[in-house]
Structure 1
Amino acid sequence: MIRSKKIRWGIIGLGNIAHQFAQDLALVEDAVLTAVASRNLEKAEIFSNSNNCTKFYGSYDAIFKDDSVDIIYIATPHDSHAELTIKALQNNKHVLCEKPLALNYKDALQMIEASKQNNKFFMEAFWTRFNPSLQEALHKIKNGEIGEVKYINADFAFALENLEGNRMTDLKLGGGTLMDIGVYPLFLVYLILGIPIEVAAKANFHNSGADLQTAIILQYDNAQALLHSSFMSSSNMRATISGTKGRINLNSKWFKAQSYTLVVNDKKSKHKLPTKGKGYTYEIDECHKCINEGKVESSLWSHQNSLDLIKIVDEVKNQIGLEFPSDKG
């Protein structure tokens, strides 16, 4: 179906992820990047010029007030997600907010309530949920091709060169591996096995109080998951879903997989599903579909899904003793 009306996007928080998102946005036929905003006007102008965007602002409030913007992609540091999302929704904007949705359950709940109160679409930007390899793997799991899932192993790790003065280790900004990259393995297990009955976790910390390395065990009635996130060393970044009849390997880097391997009766078959662009295009399409259908949430990654996941994250935080300044409010 060809849609005549383009959906007009705004972006705030103009870092590396926002650049990648903007490049993929240009690949979506019924999307247009209308405006961008940063607290630094010069940065906004440079981003705008490099992404064929007509408007740029030196404040977030300015883009919230722009009637030519339908939906805002929020890619600021984690600590500001809740405040900015709520402001955007209150200003009649749909919102796609980068993960993690918020730093705690309380803030996430307020964001979702704002979406419903203002009747505006709102989704956490878990782009991996819409990845073609993951979608097909989930279909095979649901159809019982690997039997009953008993074990999941997934990690996300890389050596961070500059730990000092880095956004990723700044506790005030929600830094640390759990919130930045550890949420990915937790997301995968939740998607397949749901909410665990027990969580066990340990971490090593930076002197800022942010976690540098976190290991997690999720216990289910008839399954377990072993997960890891780290800024201290690299890993293969493959994810393995093991069942009673076989297993599925989401190939590296699993969270943006271009293929997966199915193993049944010791027979391997590789399935290549290269993404369009870097892979953000699929979550963009989902936003458009929901907006055009008048929905406030996606059925593939719903408000409840986000709340369930942040509850699990909160329990990991409790287990490792991680506390952000905003948690005390």
Structure 2
Amino acid sequence: MEKKVIKWGIIGLGNIAQKFAADLATVENAELVAVASRSQENANEFASTYNSKKAYNSYLDLAKDAEVDAVYIATPHSFHKEHAILCLQHKKAVLCEKPFAMNLQEVEEMIAASKENNVLLMEALWTYFLPHYTYVLESIKNEKFGKLLKLEADFGFSRAFDNDSRLFKKEVGGGSLLDIGIYPIFAALSTLGKPDVIEAGATFFDNGADSSCNMTFNYTDTKAVLKSTLVEDTATEAIFTCERGVIKINTMFHMPTTVTVIENGKEEIIDFNYKTIGYNFETIHFNNLLRTNQKESDLMTFDFSINLIKTLDKVRVIIGLEY
């Protein structure tokens, strides 16, 4: 039986949208049919580059397009709720870039809109769907190397401060925590669950956005030591120390990479032979949910997204970061 072709729209046409569109072209039975930017010129250029039939300068016009089945939202964090609900109200399935929104209240409003309109909604945290991360999750769940004793995960790079850049703009959710700190936190929640106690400290830019954040998640028998920073190049690894071995997701752990397994003094590097940027895996999952008329992912569940934003909110309270 031929699979239904899922016709996609994209709202917000920055760097991540470009990567998503490039990988969408590799997905069978999926097609980019419409893109939207606040600038018609940007929309036209993006449409030309990624073979979209339509280019809008209005997000509402894209949401109203009867041909569009699903919308990928890649606008700045502070607009996620508004744009997701706009699309859900027009009965478009929504794949919304991480972080889902700015805080728990916004995430709950998005989920309520999904349920009210009976339309699929999922947070686009692509790492969850990458084969190397699936391998690590299964190894830890099955205790392949014994119980997990400690997690260390970091994400950091040095970038010259630019108050005009989305990355540093506090009012749109810029700063290290929401933008990149979400990945080490995700690594902890997806392997260890919710922590019993969180310790955290941060440094800040002059505009109030956090420049770095150090966190320790304490559990009954283990802990996760986590870090995000925009002022230092770090290894950007995730190291899972278990009773009988170590699983290390090598540099840029959140994206397609290799995994090193250290057991009995021997190291093995596992290469997952990625051929794409990596956004196709979440897209394939989402397309299958849509084809089978699901309203929520069985992997990136609403509960997981709620726990993730609750944890981010708790860290913000501890470090004194308010948007």
- TM-score w.r.t. the length of structure 1 is 0.96
Q: Unmatched 5+ residue regions in structure 1?
A: 325-329
| Whole-angstrom distance in 2 between the partners of 1:201 and 1:158 | 19
> Partner of 1:57 in structure 2?
56
> Partner of 2:97 in structure 1?
98
Q: Unmatched 5+ residue regions in structure 2?
A: none
The Cα offsets for residues 241-273 of structure 1, whole Å up to 9 and x where unpaired, read as 111111100011111132211112222211110
Comparing 165-174 with 74-83, greater Cα deviation is found at 165-174
> Partner of 2:290 in structure 1?
291
SS in 2 for 1:195: coil
| Whole-angstrom distance in 1 between the partners of 2:242 and 2:64 | 51
Give the letter aligned to residue 309 of structure 1. Answer: L
Comparing 270-279 with 93-102, greater Cα deviation is found at 270-279
RMSD between aligned residues: 1.0
Matches within 5 A, 1:135-284: 135-284=134-283
Cα offset for 1:276? 3.6
The Cα offsets for residues 21-67 of structure 1, whole Å up to 9 and x where unpaired, read as 10000000111000000111110000000001110000101101001
Asked whether the equivalents of residues 35 and 63 of structure 1 are also in contact (C-alpha less than 8 Å), the reply is yes
SS in 1 for 2:202: strand
| Whole-angstrom distance in 1 between the partners of 2:243 and 2:147 | 5
SS in 1 for 2:7: strand
- Paired residues, number: 323
Give the letter aligned to residue 101 of structure 1. Answer: F
Asked whether the equivalents of residues 251 and 257 of structure 1 are also in contact (C-alpha less than 8 Å), the reply is no
Asked whether the equivalents of residues 154 and 228 of structure 1 are also in contact (C-alpha less than 8 Å), the reply is yes
SS in 2 for 1:286: helix
Cα offset for 1:208? 1.2
- Percent identity between matched residues is 40
The Cα offsets for residues 116-148 of structure 1, whole Å up to 9 and x where unpaired, read as 111111110010001101101111112211211
Asked whether the equivalents of residues 177 and 210 of structure 2 are also in contact (C-alpha less than 8 Å), the reply is yes
| Whole-angstrom distance in 1 between the partners of 2:246 and 2:214 | 22
> Partner of 1:38 in structure 2?
37
1:103–1:111 Cα change, 3 Å: same
The Cα offsets for residues 178-219 of structure 1, whole Å up to 9 and x where unpaired, read as 000000000011000000011111111011111011111101
| Whole-angstrom distance in 1 between the partners of 2:185 and 2:275 | 25
Give the letter aligned to residue 137 of structure 1. Answer: V
SS in 2 for 1:291: helix
SS in 2 for 1:255: coil
Asked whether the equivalents of residues 197 and 220 of structure 1 are also in contact (C-alpha less than 8 Å), the reply is yes
Give the letter aligned to residue 113 of structure 2. Answer: A
Asked whether the equivalents of residues 35 and 43 of structure 2 are also in contact (C-alpha less than 8 Å), the reply is yes
